[in-house]
Amino acid sequence: MKALAEGETDPAALAALADHRLRATPEQLRDALGACTELHAVYRRLLKMALEELRLMEEQIEQLDREALGLLQEHQDVVQRVAEVPGFGVDTPRFSKVDRPQKAMVLPHSAVR
């Protein structure tokens, strides 16, 4: 997507950048990306803006995660006890995400009101 936003128009070059986990074949990708050769600059700019917004949101989420973990430090003993309960461990995914797994945040009982 970044290459497309930056002006790449060659469907083969764009298809070569695709994530290996995609189910589409390289030929299907080249066919689907064929329309990119005529993509107006305004749409490229919109794509670039959306990608920047996504990057900013991911950065903000990471910052909030770090802050929340810092707040939980004073409750470390409670967090450790809750983490031992099956299904509430610190490795429980918060939600499924394609690019990286997320760690669950275990809140102390006193924080849940």
CA–CA distance, 30 with 34 (Å, rounded to integer): 6
> Which pLDDT score, from 0 to 100, does residue 111 have?
47
Across the range 107-111, mean pLDDT stands at: 46
**Both tokens assigned to 112:** 């849940």
Is a pLDDT exceeding 80 seen at residue 112?
no
Greater confidence (5 vs 89) lies with: 5
- Measured in degrees and rounded to the nearest 5, phi and psi for residue 54 equal -60, -45
